[in-house]
Structure 1
Amino acid sequence: MTAALQHRPDAIPVTLVTDASALVPMDRDTAYLKLPPNSGHGHADGQHCAACAGRDDVRTMLFELLEGARQGLHPAFTRVVVDASGLGDTTKVIAALTGKLPAQALRDHTVARRFYLVG
């Protein structure tokens, strides 16, 4: 088994959807995150923007989802669907979910240990 295929037994699979028509009904064990499209305030998708950075950081969103479930703020889940259909470029999202972006905070390490991209 290659290192890329090794996951902790409690790791949570993440499916990235880039085409909204590919979304299917989800069961109650599936958490859903929607990444917002470019806000339209003067920059192209993919450019760094402090206003957008907090809204579309998939690692932050996954960490907050995990912490919310741990604290009982919302239901537990066994898988996650990330809807990125509104984004023009999902390269940064894929890099974040596959460990190709440097970890910036403890939450990034937590997400790397607990989530993995499928498909």
Structure 2
Amino acid sequence: MSRIEPIAVTLITEPGRLLALDGDTALLRLPANSGHGHEDGGQCIACAMRTDVRALLFDMLEGAKQGLRPAFSKVVVDASAVKDVSVVIAALTGKLPAQALRDHTVARMFYLAGAA
């Protein structure tokens, strides 16, 4: 059984700082408040699912395994529209408690390589 290498995640926190991406880098954009009437950081189920970086990374990984999306070896997460990126950083560094088994998979398969 071969060991799978962890996937580096670069977090973009400032607008206009998006780097040029090569062919094996996936881009994940986290949206700002969807306009549901609550402030950024307020929780509703729809907004929580759209900005749950661990769930989104897991979906990307599964899509690549199933051939539904191109394979990737790096990920750039554009969180420049997110008001409080500390939650995203906490999710990527294992500081948030796991909410589902997929969160353990993401913790094993992805690591925060840097932020810009």
TM-score (normalised: structure 1): 0.89
User: How far did residue 9 of structure 1 move?
Assistant: 6.3
Choose which of 98, 101, 104 in structure 1 pairs with 2:99: 104
Q: 2:47 aligns with which of 49, 52, 74?
A: 52
For 1:108 and 1:41, how far apart are their aligned partners in 2?
26
Alignment of 1:1-119 (within 5 A): 10-119=5-114
CA RMSD of superposed structures (Å) = 1.3
Structure 1 residue identity aligned to 2:67:
G
Q: Which consecutive residues of structure 1, in runs of 5 or more, have no partner in the other structure?
A: 1-7
The runs of 5 or more residues in structure 2 that have no matched partner are: none
One-letter code aligned to 2:44? C
Task: Give the paired residue count.
Answer: 112
Q: What is the one-letter code of the residue matched to 2:10?
A: T
What does residue 5 of structure 1 align with? Answer: none
Instruction: Give the TM-score taking structure 2 as reference length.
Output: 0.91
Give 3-state SS (helix, strand or coil) of 1:92's partner.
helix
Q: Distance in 2 between matches of 1:109 and 1:76?
A: 20
The structure 1 segments of at least 4 consecutive aligned residues displaced by more than 3 Å after TM superposition are none
User: Residue 28 of structure 1 aligns to a residue in which SS?
Assistant: coil
